[in-house]
């Protein structure tokens, strides 16, 4: 199973999950630094203060990537590391933070690894939250634009792929709706306000890049997360529920950018005046404001018209405010589950890719995250023979290959994650990495899946038959 020539193969991480150095060289606190200090918020009281110590060991990590033959690396910049207060004020830029990312980018390029940079992966400067209500404040769009401009100025001569936001759904629903992620707020109104200003911020950053930095010759886009929703039965109400769930989940942030410049009509109908309005100028700036479709995908669930008590909604959560959707979600008890209790359903990935292609006019798609947490058994020599993770990747890459055969313009795949790291509210309990990180010594050891994945990358860069260890 060979992928198209030029297909991008890489892995992904985020700043707070791996960097550590939480206050090194003048870095300001983020909302996750504060959230982790609240008792009971994070499993076993874990924090990202040290994480994988990537801030001090990045050269070792880049050398590891190179040894695996990786061709691309997606990472995020910590906004408070380069701009501690989150605002462009006198003396507000930390040159030490700028130097760290500049050195990281140079190290990647020296090893032939293409940097893909995410501007926002959830670690908002704490000052913006405590002093200005974070993503609830309309003025944050100007702050984000100033931060983005700084990054374009400092790194854009070498970075050719930018992602403005990672998973706005998580920021809004888990951070402002359910309160299980930073900043820990609970509301059925605030998620829509926060999401609105995230989209406005995205549009401003893209306008800035295209108007002031076009000469850099790069691409810029946004990454959304979405799991597939399969109708539970052939009943029309279940098909309608599945489509409605996808629109509240992915359409919420994708329709304004890729289709209409506005939210899906079903959201307007059901959310009413809790859903903010874009100005005509904002609609124009949003539509077409992404050069590619970034997708993070992990699992699949069945969708059905909601039962009266809505019990399944509270059990499984939803891609939006559940009471606004009226969708019940469930899983097949026969499906294999990861340690994270997410179902392994490769065919759902194929269906979702086709749905995106059909709804949004066949955009260039990059899977910017896909992976699984498994119960890694460490052998005496420190290695992990993770056959379950191997099976996961094999199944999902086969589904990706099939989607390309269906006519989907899929151009890249980033495995989540490079190494075991801080998994947000779950702390260090779950391990998504291709590389095992010993929590005592922080020693990195590639797992079997990492070696297999590197073989896949290399095989798809060569002519002729792929090695037997690869997809086939």
SS (H, E, C) 333-397: CCCCECCCCCECCHHHHHHHHHHHHHHCCCCCEEEEEECCCCCCCECCCCCECCHHHHHHHHHHH
Count the helices and strands in the chain (H runs, E runs): 18, 13
410: Cα separation from own chain's centroid: 17
Rounded to the nearest 5 percent, the helix, strand and coil shares of the chain are: 45, 15, 40
175: Cα separation from own chain's centroid: 15
Q: Is 114 a catalytic residue?
A: no
The conformation of residue 467, written as its DSSP 8-state character, comes to P
Neighbours of 276 (CB within 10 A): 16
Close Cβ partners of 333 (under 8 Å, ≥ 6 residues apart): none
Q: Which of 167, 190, 282, 312 is catalytic?
A: 167
The conformation of residue 424, written as its DSSP 8-state character, comes to G
Q: Is 369 a catalytic residue?
A: yes
Q: Which of 19, 154, 282, 369 is catalytic?
A: 369
| Complete edge-to-edge strand list for the sheet that includes strand 228-231 | 228-231, 300-305, 327-330
- By annotation, the residues acting in catalysis are 167, 369
């Amino acid at each position: 199973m060979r992928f198209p020539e030029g297909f991008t193969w890489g892995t992904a991480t985020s700043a707070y999950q791996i960097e550590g150095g939480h206050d090194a060289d003048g870095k300001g606190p983020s909302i996750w630094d504060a959230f982790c200090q609240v008792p009971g918020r994070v499993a076993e009281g874990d924090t990202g203060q040290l994480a994988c110590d990537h801030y001090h060991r990045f050269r070792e990590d880049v050398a590891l990537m190179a040894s695996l033959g990786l061709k691309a690396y997606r990472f995020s910049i910590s906004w408070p590391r380069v701009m501690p207060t989150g605002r462009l004020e006198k003396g507000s830029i930390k040159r030490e933070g700028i130097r760290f990312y500049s050195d990281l980018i140079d190290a990647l390029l020296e090893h032939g690894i293409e940097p893909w940079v995410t501007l926002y992966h959830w670690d908002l400067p704490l000052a913006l939250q405590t002093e200005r209500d974070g993503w609830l404040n309309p003025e944050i769009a100007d702050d984000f634009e100033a931060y983005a401009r700084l990054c374009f100025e400092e790194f854009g001569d070498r970075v050719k792929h930018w992602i403005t936001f990672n998973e706005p759904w998580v920021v809004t629903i888990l951070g402002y709706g359910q309160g299980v992620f930073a900043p820990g707020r609970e509301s059925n109104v605030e998620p829509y306000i926060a999401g609105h200003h995230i989209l406005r911020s995205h549009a401003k950053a893209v306008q800035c890049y295209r108007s002031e930095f076009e000469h850099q010759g790069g691409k810029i886009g946004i990454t959304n997360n979405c799991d597939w929703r399969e109708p539970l039965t052939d009943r029309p109400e279940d098909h309608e529920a599945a489509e409605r769930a996808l629109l509240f989940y992915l359409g919420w942030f994708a329709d304004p950018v890729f289709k209409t410049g506005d939210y899906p009509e079903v959201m307007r109908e059901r959310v009413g005046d809790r859903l903010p309005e874009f100005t005509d100028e904002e609609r124009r700036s949003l539509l077409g404001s992404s050069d590619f479709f970034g997708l993070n995908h992990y699992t699949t669930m069945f969708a059905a018209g909601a039962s009266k008590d809505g019990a399944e909604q509270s059990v499984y959560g939803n891609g939006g405010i559940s009471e606004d959707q009226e969708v019940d979600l469930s899983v097949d008890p026969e499906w294999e589950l990861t340690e994270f209790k997410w179902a392994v359903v490769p065919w759902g990935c194929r269906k979702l890719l086709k749905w995106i292609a059909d709804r949004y006019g066949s955009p260039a798609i990059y899977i910017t995250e896909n992976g699984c947490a498994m119960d890694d058994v460490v052998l005496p020599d420190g290695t992990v023979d993770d056959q379950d993770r191997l099976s996961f990747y094999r199944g999902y890459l086969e589904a990706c290959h099939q989607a390309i055969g269906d006519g989907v313009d899929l151009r890249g795949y980033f495995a989540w994650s490079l190494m075991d790291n801080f998994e947000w509210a779950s702390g260090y309990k779950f391990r998504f990495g291709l590389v095992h990180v010993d929590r005592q010594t922080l020693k990195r050891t590639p797992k079997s899946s990492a070696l297999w994945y590197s073989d896949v990358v290399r095989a798809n860069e060569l002519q002729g038959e792929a090695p037997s260890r690869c997809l086939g």
